[in-house]
Amino acid sequence: MTNLVLTIYGYDQDPGPLWRYHGGDKHPEVRQWAWHLLEEMPYAIAFLEPQSALLLGLLCLGGLIESDYGGYIPDFKTDREEGNRFMALVRDTTTRFTSHHPELPHSVYLTVQMKVTSILDQFDEMRRHLLG
């Protein structure tokens, strides 16, 4: 399966990360776009390469610098309700993918399930690390 990469243009002059919005959205249109992508096509996360899956989490939730992970990780701490919503959408990925594409071979569903499980494990580890 091909991996997708998220690339966002138009913010090249902005020196900071797009997801840094504590105290008010820095780029609310980018954040709204990320949530819209996850809500409308949550199964797309199964096809994102790992860095882009992390980027989607950062764009939806904001980011915190975490030295244990060598950089930014999604902020599950500031707004736990939003973090729970994000994780629920990611968890629902396989079910939504199956219902949208019932014609595909079973091997495709297994591949999607393995990829989503890997992404969920990473996000769960980061969330546990932040929340203790």
Q: Is 99 exposed, middle or buried (0-12, 13-18, 19+ CB in 10 A)?
A: exposed
Segment 27-31 mean pLDDT: 84
pLDDT of residue 27: 77
Q: Which residue has the higher pLDDT, 126 or 8?
A: 126
**Model confidence pLDDT, tens digit, residues 57-102:** 999 999 999 999 999 999 999 999 999 999 999 999 888 888 888 9
Element (H, E) at 74: strand 71-74
Phi, psi of 70 (to 5 degrees): 75, 30
Question: Is 80 exceeded by the pLDDT of residue 105?
Answer: yes
Question: Is 60 exceeded by the pLDDT of residue 22?
Answer: no
Segment 30-48 mean pLDDT: 88
Q: How far, CA to CA in Å, does 27 sit from each of 23, 42, 55?
A: 12, 22, 15
Residue 82 and residue 62 in contact, taking contact as beta carbons nearer than 8 Å: no
Kindly report the pTM of this predicted structure: 0.86
pLDDT interval class at 17 (50, 70, 90)? confident
Per-domain residue ranges for the chain? Answer: 28-131
Q: Provide the β-strand partners of residue 64.
A: 73
91: left (phi over 0), alpha (psi -120 to 50) or beta: alpha
Q: Give dist(CA 94, CA 110) in Å, integer.
A: 9
pLDDT of residue 24: 58
